[in-house]
Amino acid sequence: MRPLTLLPARLRPCLAGIAALVVLAGLPCATASAVSDTTQFSVTAGSLAFGISPDVPNLPALTLNGQVQTLNAQMNSYSVSDGTGAGAGWNVTVNGDSAGGKSAVFKQYCPNATCGTDSGPAYITGGRTLAASSLTLNSTSATWTGNSGTLPSHLCNASCFMDTTTAVKIASATTSVSLGTWSTTGYSATSQAVSIPTTTRFLSQAGEIYRIDLVFTLNSGP
């Protein structure tokens, strides 16, 4: 081949370009590189529990007048936290606690070391009582906050007895209710009520009161 220097000047750039292309064509082609990868995590079920536990307020003092009377108080708000991830729903029940040293109905109680001739803190053996089904909860004005979507339900719009030995369902969440924390709100000033019959007796020992023990239970399922 004739050296480039001997070729006409106008042909030299063209031939140089052709030579460069020939050299590039002889080089190996660059290819894309891809690798596969994954990531993962595990899930452990959390708990179904009260965030704020139900707490029935103390009722006001009573002066007997020979008539049937009703004492009222406002039920305290409570919350339920569902971290199970199951979406099974839940419900809340209440009943009187008849375990040892407790009383499922209002009963004469000494809250101090001594109350006159009685000793405490303890329920008084053979002491005065109110009948079962004296204490009620009314949730007509109550609702739920803290989450979105379908709300849990209050079940005591017509009042529920709280002082029974059989558990009474007072709230429920179906499987369509969102997981997470729900809080009650809006209980009225008369949502808690106890009926005082004319047969109620004055407690003569200093400092004694009528007292009751309740159990609130949070269960899985609506």
d(CA 168, CA 56): 15
- Residue 69: in which H helix or E strand, if any? strand 69-73
d(CA 147, CA 181): 7
d(CA 170, CA 159): 9
Greater model confidence, 147 or 196: 196
Q: Is the pLDDT of residue 157 over 60?
A: yes
Confidence of residue 126 (pLDDT cuts 50, 70, 90): very high
- Report the predicted TM-score, pTM, of the whole model to 2 decimal places: 0.82
Nearest to 71 by CA among 154, 151, 190: 190
Q: pLDDT per residue over 64-105, tens digit each?
A: 999 999 999 999 999 999 999 999 999 999 999 999 999 999
Q: 121 and 110 in contact (C-beta within 8 Å)? A: yes
